[in-house]
Each structure stands twice: as structure tokens, then as C-alpha cells.
Amino acid sequence: MEPSFRDRRDAGRLLAASLGHLDGDPALLVLGLPRGGVPVAAEVASALGAALDVYLVRKLGVPGRRELAMGAIASGGVRVLNNRVAAGISPAVVERVTREEERELERCERALRGGLPGPAVGGRTVILVDDGIATGSTMRSAISALRAAGAGRIVVAVPVAAPVTCRELEAEVEQVVAVVTPEPMTAISLWYDDFSQTAEEEVRALLEHAARGGCEYPAPP
């Protein structure tokens, strides 16, 4: 198996080529999931002339079974509960887990966004970008939070994704776009020549550049 992408920036440019039908939408907003989704999203935003931001989401895991989500919190003070799961958890536990995750979300907000305000998503067409999707649990949490925040049309866009997960997500959003959908799906990293960790400094630099109205994004620091 040969890697499909040199790095996340290369993946973003290839992904953008599949999103040209959204070019020119004045309500378009590209949101990258931290941290690896942001360099991909930066290239998409640049190609489409769209606004760029990071969308922070934290899963509210059931104590002792953290992989099971009873809800999620996200940028902008959004909280969404999975009532089917949360119904079996005491309200005090739900609030405790929420406070714990809020502290981590606030830390990430400070580290990645600094003093920049969070994204306003109400009524907008949102392209939600990550560097790849395997199970899709983080993406589902982000979708739920965006719906709760009043987003209009949501498009999930990734360079590589598991086909079964794409089919599942298509029932939750207006469109799912993936450059590569391998079967069977292996580790996301195998589809990149360079899948080194995205530094917080790179995310900050990309967001600051976008906030200044830049088009061509700077190289990683």
C-alpha cells in the first residue's frame, strides 16, 4: 500500500479539489478538529476563499467506560447529552464529568486560539474537517454540537475515511466527502508519508494568519 498524501497540507489541497461546488458560498465556514485537522482545513479554506477556525469538542465519557459517550461539549459553551446513555447516569456524575471536560476545553481554547473569539456557526454552511476518520466518535460529537449551536448545512470532509463510517455519517449531515475510502480501513497514519504530530504553535499560526485575512498559509514553525 502506497501512501496517498505527503503530509496534511498536501491532503488538504487534494481534499479541496473535491469541494469546489461549495466555492462562493458567502456563509461558508471551514472548521478543523484539533490538532491534526487544522492544517488540512487551512488548505481547504484557502482554496475556497472561506473563513477558517478550529472547533474544539470534548466527549463526555461514562466513568469507568470512557469510550462510551453520554454527551459532548464544544466551543461556544455548547453541551449535548445522549439521553439514551445519560438517563442511566446520576445528574451529579454528569455535571462532574462536564466540569472536568470544560476545564480541559478551556485549556485547549487558550492554547490554540489565544485571545481570538470562537466561531459563530448559526445558520452557516460548515465544512467540518479532520485528517482522517476511523470510528468517527469525535466527528459525531462535533456534528451534534454544531447542530445544537444552530449550524445550517454541515459537510464532513476528510482525506481518508472508513467506508462504513462514511455511510453512517451520511445519515447525520448533508454531505460526506473523502478522498480515499480504503476497505479494509487501516491506521490513518499509513496513508501519509508524514503524519507527525501537529504542534499547538502551528495551529495558532494558521488561525492568526486566517484572522488577518491571509490566503496563502505559512509553513509550519
pLDDT of residue 214: 53
Note whether 45 and 210 are within 8 A (CB): yes
What residues of the chain score a pLDDT lower than 70? 1-3, 115, 213-221
What architecture is domain 8-56+121-211?
Answer: 3-Layer(aba) Sandwich (3.40)
d(CA 91, CA 88): 9
pLDDT of residue 221: 45
d(CA 139, CA 128): 8
pLDDT of residue 80: 87
Q: Residues of CATH 3.30.1310.20 domain(s) within the chain?
A: 58-113
pTM of this prediction? 0.87
58-113: CATH topology = Ybab; Chain: A; (3.30.1310)
Q: Residues of CATH 3.40.50.2020 domain(s) within the chain?
A: 8-56+121-211
Note whether 59 and 80 are within 8 A (CB): no
Note whether 209 and 52 are within 8 A (CB): no
